[in-house]
Amino acid sequence: MSRRRVSSSGSLEPDDEVMPYSDDETDDELDAGSEEEEPDEPPGAPLPPVEAKPSEMGWKVKANDRPYHHLPEFQKKVFLCFKKSRYSGNAIKTYKYNILTFIPLNLYEQFKRVANLYFLALLILQIIPDISTLPWYTTLIPLVVVLGVTAIKDLVDDLARHRMDKEINNRKSEVLLDGRFQESKWRDIEVGDVVHLRKNDFIPADILLLSSSDPNSLCYVETAELDGETNLKFKMGLRVTDERLQHERQLADFNALIECEEPNNRLDKFVGTMLWQNERYPLDLDNMLLRGCTIRNTEHCHGLVIFAGADTKIMRNSGKTRFKRTKIDELMNYMVYTIFALLILVAAGLAIGHTFWYEEIGSKAWYLSDGKDHSSSWRGFLSFWGYIIVLNTMVPISLYVSVEVIRLGQSKFINWDLQMYYAEKDTPAKARTTTLNEQLGQIEYIFSDKTGTLTQNIMQFKKCTIAGRTYGDPTTAEGVTLDRGRPVNWSWNRHADKKFDFMDHSLVSSVRSKKDKDASEFFKLLSLCHTVMVENKDGELVYQAASPDEGALVTAARNFGYVFLSRTQDTITIHEMDQEISYEMLALLDFNSDRKRMSIILKFPDGRIRLYCKGADTVIYERLSPDSRHKETTQAALDIFANATLRTLCLCYKDISAAEYEAWSRKHKEAQVSMSDRDSALDRVYEQIESNLMLIGATAIEDKLQDGVPETIATLAKADIKIWVLTGDKKETAENIGYSCCLLTDDMQIHYGEDVNEKLRIRQTNRRNELQSLQRRRKRPTEPFFNMPGKNALVITGGWLNEILYEKKKKRRRLRLRRLGKRPPPAIPQDGQPMDDLEKEMRQIDFVDMACECEAVICCRVTPKQKANVVSLVKKYKKAVTLSIGDGANDVNMIKTADIGVGISGQEGMQAVMSSDYAFAQFRYLERLLLVHGRWSYIRMCKFLRFFFFKNFAFTLVHFWYSFFSGYSSQVAYEDWFITLYNLCYSSLPVLLVGLLDQDVNDKLSLKFPKLYLPGQKGALFNYRNFFISLFHGIFVSLIIFFIPYGAFLQTMGQDGEAPSDYQSLAVVTASTLIFTVNLQISLDTSYWTFVNCFAVLGSIAIYFGIMFDIHSAGIHVIFPSAFTFTGAASNALRQPYLWLTIILSVGISLLPVICIQFLHKTIWPSVGDKVHRNRKKYEMEMEEEERKTKPPAFQRGQRSRRSAYAFSHSRGYADLIASGRSIRRRPQPGGGLPGSIRDAPQREAENI
């Protein structure tokens, strides 16, 4: 059945029930739609001949013939003259390096970082004697450390990927080789192989189902990895292969040729033909078992590999792995470029100074002669490179390795957080990358999947109304309502599902007493009117339903004593309280998206014929008999259920006379064999019998949310984080969950696709009218889309999304141009299509602007690629930091596209987790990940970077001031070893610990005050303003620590009569002042003190003095006379009290202004963080008090009446399968006890039907 398409002119509206797959639509698919889009052709003009497209059937697979797929015609060029087979092997590869490529490739990637290249260039410069002013080891040692640490981290990450790939590629399957099935690893499977799969096996490739142990080659699969749905789906092999390919020898002789479409990412489509024994057989998606699915409820099956490895649909949907970088990384790179520019300017200025100095003074002073006959210009040129080397520490190489260490530590804190550990499944949180932690503190938009992410995908029967009376609240058997109750004890029912919880004892009592006929009829309907399949597994009944809702209803009936036992093609058997009864099934009228109901017509043992029906209240109430009772009370109960966001369903019945049924049955058979528009004919016949119904009551099912989802969403909203839900589910289902989790509220105005499209069309038309001139200016409209006060929300389907963003039109336009030749654009453009790419871009900007004005956005019936496109639009046009969270393979593309990808390790496999940056088990942990770990990581990284830049400016610019007194001669102000060890030993540990451990407030206060998150979103703690503040702070401190000692040394005399005003003493005093200033400054900036911080500050100062006295000793000078030249300088200088006073004065003057500014800032202009930090003791006491007093809150119902009918979202059931008899087992189940899952029936009769 073809899907309805949207025309370019917008004449047809998108179908909300259909999930569009425009991303991979082939040109031949668009042919049908293209012809109606060509108004320029006269009505009688002949159409161009349509040729068969080779692209559609360009994939050929020969069964049991591996050499066939390596023929030259199937080779593709890889590089120059090298070729390989176009058919992928089945091994998957996600790792980046191997033994040979690790060192060269890793070094290549590291040297793509500008700073590393810069330091390599410096190292080369330092080897040149004429330029070198510092020994080469001052650069080599830090560079080797940085490259080594980063390489080790990359190696560890890649080894984890190797292990994961190896685990998957080494899974075992049985493959037909040399005429018999042999165990083979997945990586060795090739296209054209026949494989044997057993129950609960993972499917290793995209496979054509040939035969199975079930009747008519049925095979049940769980597709959670592909589409996120945990209910089972059935696949079916061709009858001809099922009959002739059951045994090993038959399969070995199988030599069919499969011609099918090229590999693509469409999960809803497969087209092909099988040529076997001179006959052609059509193939479609129902014949395919896709990689990522799991075999369920089928003992064994055989299949032919069509697509392997990277060609499979699940791998095609995984999207490209993108290299992700944080905003701070990008900003840091720009700042490094800024420092480079400053460095070149300063070095150039000092080089010019040296040129003039040498011209005026240096060349005339005989005692300054170095014996070299260089001109002043050449000396200035050499001085330029000398200063590039001397001042290189403005861009410290240790910055990058320190950043990597901090990120690694923050990742470990996430892994170790017990409050993000899910004990039920023994699943801890996992930071799968170490490079994005601070980005978690800057998130503005969250894009979330629904099923399995917000919900548990578990439906629970919560309440019901029967004959006007509502049940479900805690009640005693006598009907007395309780505040708190205990669950019903089901021990009286041996078939009961022990996991089923129900609090209303009065309903159980009423059903068991058999006095309430309405209650008995209610549960009898639930046990009979469905398409559930049942299996008897080790004495236990296991239900397989087309949707979780239907399974929940049948399970509820089972617990109340009406147990569905088995079905055949024309009977259904249930256990009614204490007796087993079989009913003859005369007709089964299945769900579809238009009917929103299903019915079953049964013949009772006493000969009565009755129709049972269940469906959405909107369709059931239209078909009720005027004599039906309890309509008003049931309607009131439905409103209450709807306000509690429960999914409702109305139940009713109708007694039918034998004559009426016979007349209807004849019409039904005619409609079943109708050759034209069979579905519509059947719907009309169904309408005739589903009338004058008698209402019994209604059910209310809870689509169980994960714990803490509403609270998490509310907290994140307070942090100004917007949440968009992107799901493949139906619109009604997604909207219900929106209300359940408080994403949508009763005071929101909801806008749907039609409204959105109209607003965008008006904006587009206005823009066209305004642009009269040929020169078009790109100007974003400033007026808002929603002028009315109040909150707004968008609920939009995938079809409307394509219509709004012109996604389908580009291919149709390209096709038309190809077939008819290029035509000029229309002089008067239509509203439904863009004039050019700029207009399309403006339309996308309009849509993003409109969506961002809303409090919530829900996109439903969207494909994996559309999910990624929505994320891309927000990233592109809002420049916002985005996070995607999901749990299935259908979320992988979205997870890879967002700045941060989070995988939920839930029921739907590990595909999302493998592609994610962070993984945990419950959505509620996202709150802690962002508001605690993300915020702390951002604050720590910003504080670390600000201080790191400051301490290096303060350190390096002393050389600049010293140059004015050294003839601009590239002479360093410190000892060489001090320069080498400053960033490695003397000042690194305290600032590193601030980057790892600092916190302004604790985790509880971070969650209590979500507004603390706002500075991160605005990038307020690290930007160019902060950078220049650090620069000027560094300039100020460098001035103080150079000029105060310089002034003190000018005219002074030591206690022993010697003047300590030599260069080495000045270097020691300046260095000592710097170490004290820097370590005390980081102490002032530390918000969270621990023993480790205290030890680091005092330890850094102690290490400085310890190493300095060692390298200034006579002993080491004797061993290495050329490397250690400051013999006795430290002991000589630091024994003078005068110089200690100088150090204290310099440190005091450096720190005093900072203390004053911080005091004034926190007193006069305190931030939210400052206020919370100031009152943290009070808040902590209040929280402790609240925890003691807190009780579970009573449920508050909303005011708005809203339909939550699960009938709107229910998918088509197994009715066709049941009616065809294909679900009937070939052999009866052995053993006694309960009846088998499917009743025996004549095989031949089933096949005929």
> DSSP secondary-structure letter at 1212?
P
Find the DSSP H helices in 583-730.
Answer: 617-620, 631-643, 658-672, 678-689, 709-718
Which has the closest alpha carbon to 522: 552, 556, 497?
556
Query: At 168, phi and psi to the nearest 5?
Result: -70, -45
* Cβ-Cβ contacts under 8 Å for 654 (sequence gap 6 or more): 610, 611, 613, 625, 689, 690, 691, 692, 693, 694
Distance (Å, whole) CA 398 – CA 752: 54
> DSSP secondary-structure letter at 10?
S
The three-state (H, E, C) secondary structure of 817-853, written as one string:
HHHHCCCCCCCCCCCCCCCCHHHHHHHHHHHHHHHHH
DSSP string of 887-917, one letter each residue: -SGGGHHHHHHSSEEEEE-STT-SHHHHT-S
Tokens of 764: 């587009």
**How many C-beta atoms surround the C-beta of residue 661 within 10 A?**
18
Q: List, by residue number, the catalytic residues.
A: 449
For the chain, the residue count is: 1249
Distance of CA 248 to the CA centre of its chain: 44
SS3 606: coil
Quick check: 204 and 195 in contact, CB under 8 A?
Answer: yes
Quick check: 250 and 9 in contact, CB under 8 A?
Answer: no
Strand 579-589 and strand 597-603: pairing? antiparallel
Quick check: 1219 and 588 in contact, CB under 8 A?
Answer: yes
Distance (Å, whole) CA 624 – CA 653: 9
> DSSP secondary-structure letter at 13?
P
**Burial label, 141 (beta-carbon count in 10 A; 0-12, 13-18, 19+):** middle
The three-state (H, E, C) secondary structure of 768-795, written as one string:
HHHCCCCCCCCCCCCCCCCCCCCEEEEE
Block residue for tokens 């076997």:
276
Quick check: 1247 and 1226 in contact, CB under 8 A?
Answer: no
**Burial label, 557 (beta-carbon count in 10 A; 0-12, 13-18, 19+):** buried
The three-state (H, E, C) secondary structure of 989-1003, written as one string:
HHHHHHHHHCCCCCH
Q: Where does 849-970 show beta strands of DSSP type E?
A: 856-860, 882-886, 900-904, 918-920
DSSP string of 234-283, one letter each residue: EEE--HHHHHH--SHHHHHT---EEEEPPP-S-TT---EEEEETTEEEEE
Residue type for 98, please?
N
SS3 36: coil
**How many C-beta atoms surround the C-beta of residue 321 within 10 A?**
10
Find the DSSP H helices in 9-113.
Answer: 27-35, 102-110
Distance (Å, whole) CA 637 – CA 469: 9
* Cβ-Cβ contacts under 8 Å for 1121 (sequence gap 6 or more): none
Which has the closest alpha carbon to 737: 700, 708, 705?
705
